[in-house]
Amino acid sequence: SLKGKTAVVTGSNSGIGLGIAHELAKAGASVVINSFTDRDEDHALAKEIADQHGVEVRYIQADMSKADECRALIEKAGACDILVNNAGIQHVAPIDEFPVEKWDAIIAINMSSAFHTTAAALPLMRKAGWGRVVNIASAHGLTASPFKSAYVAAKHGVVGMTKVVALETAKEPITANAICPGYVKTPLVEAQIPDTAEKYDMTEEEVIEKVILERQPSKEFATTEQLGGVAVFLCSDAAAQITGTTISVDGGWTAL
């Protein structure tokens, strides 16, 4: 059980982060959920997760594109035994047309935020004598696709940084690993299906198999619950010697 542990999950009012927050709460952890917004529904979501699993859940607003806000998130959390760096965005364009502001935002949110939160969290983990850093990278942290220069660069960067954190904490009861999902059915991905079906004159099933899951041999999405389960596993005693590595949850994508 993760009772007595505090988990901070960045970018967790939607999708994979929300799924991970649920599974960590189910396992007994106190959870801090986060995004850059500060709406009533964000705080209501925290209450909903708390009520569902009987643990403390707080929503802390912080923009992961800003170094000081990344560090302030950890300070406001007060404790951070489990750090899940999940916040991320995407933009797709050929490199010679890639908007500079999109490049900067993706590098900041998808990669640099993990540097800042980890720097702020490690002293708290050392004080507590236990810690887990779980970075949500991607199959694109290990392989590439065209038109995703910033995303692929940021995710490879996250995988590299994960290894450094593991080496710097190797003699301590702290581990750092990256989870590399293939396609996961989040609201973000689901929203693209009807439009794509219309564009290619395909059924929604054909779009999922032939367009979206083209690279994923299982032809099935991973789920946010499965990602949450892998994060909980990395927090277990069985995973104490797993550090500085990646776990792919990609239906065989990186085996190709």
Q: Are 76 and 61 in contact (CB under 8 A)?
A: no
Q: Name 68's Cβ contacts closer than 8 Å, sequence gap at least 6.
A: none
The tally of CA atoms less than 13 A away on the side-chain side of residue 256 is 15
- Is residue 64 within the footprint of ligand NAD (CB under 6 A)? yes
Question: Among residues 162 and 186, whose Cβ is nearest to ligand NAD?
Answer: 186
- Is residue 63 within the footprint of ligand NAD (CB under 6 A)? yes
Name the residue with tokens 């302030």. Answer: 72
Question: Among residues 128 and 223, whose Cβ is nearest to ligand NAD?
Answer: 223
- Is residue 15 within the footprint of ligand NAD (CB under 6 A)? yes
Question: Among residues 130 and 254, whose Cβ is nearest to ligand NAD?
Answer: 254
Question: Among residues 135 and 243, whose Cβ is nearest to ligand NAD?
Answer: 135
151 in catalytic set: yes
Q: Rounded to an integer, what distance in angstroms lies between the CA atom of residue 82 and that of residue 86?
A: 12
Restricting to residues 118-177, which ones interact with ligand NAD according to CB under 6 A? 136, 138
Which member of 5, 6, 13, 166 binds ligand NAD (CB under 6 A)?
A: 13
The tally of CA atoms less than 13 A away on the side-chain side of residue 247 is 19
The pairing of beta strand 82-85 with beta strand 246-249: unpaired
Count of residues of this chain found to bind ligand NAD when the rule CB under 6 A is applied: 27
- Per DSSP, what are the bridge partners of residue 222? 184
Residues in touch with ligand NAD (CB under 6 A): 11-17, 35-36, 63-65, 86-89, 109-110, 136, 138, 181, 183-184, 186-189
Indicate which residues carry an active-site annotation.
Answer: 151
